[in-house]
Amino acid sequence: MKRWHIIMLMVVCLILSSCMRGKVYDHYVDIHNEEWRQGDTITLHTDSIRNDGSYNSKVGIRIREEMPYIGVSILVTQKITNKDREGYTLTDTVDCQFVNDRGNKTGSGISHHQYIFPIRSQELHQGDTVTVTLCHIMNTDTIPAISEIGYILTKE
């Protein structure tokens, strides 16, 4: 019986470690009253990068079923700094579509849906830190039904 528990524990550990493989940063911020107002800028800061390499950045959005829009556009600014060299800024517009061409939701979840959208692939170096700002650039003052916005950084 003990052998079975040890095997199950090893399997669970293996599954959990494979889910986190390459993930450097993954953090979400709650949106106050689940309404993202124009001008409400979300700022996130990564820890120092440990290894040189190629990294993929993504934006994550968690929305309620009642989302009235088929998508939102987000302005993403990534400011990369390092105490040993000059920093730089990357700016991207991410078009976040919540439904496919047939009108079906593409996210995962039941009453809340989670979506992850790629931003870009970029080279980062040991000691780099990334400060990310996210703001919506829609023609409306408030986007309802957004519960959380996040940033994900993974090593390729």
Nearest alpha-carbon partner for 123 in 75, 93, 76, 90: 90
- Residue 128: its pLDDT value, please? 97
23-155 belongs to CATH 2.60.120: yes
- Residue 64: its pLDDT value, please? 93
Q: Looking at 15-111, which runs of residues are DSSP E strands? A: 23-30, 35-37, 42-45, 53-64, 71-82, 85-97
Question: Mean pLDDT score of the chain, rounded to an integer?
Answer: 89
Instruction: Return the domain boundaries, the chain.
Output: 23-155
Enter the pTM of the model. Answer: 0.83
pLDDT tens-digit series, residues 34-58: 999 998 999 999 999 999 999 999 9
What kind and span of H or E run contains 5? helix 2-19
- Point out the residues of the chain with pLDDT beneath 70: 1-21
- Residue 110: its pLDDT value, please? 83
Distance (Å, rounded) from C-alpha 140 to C-alpha 92?
20
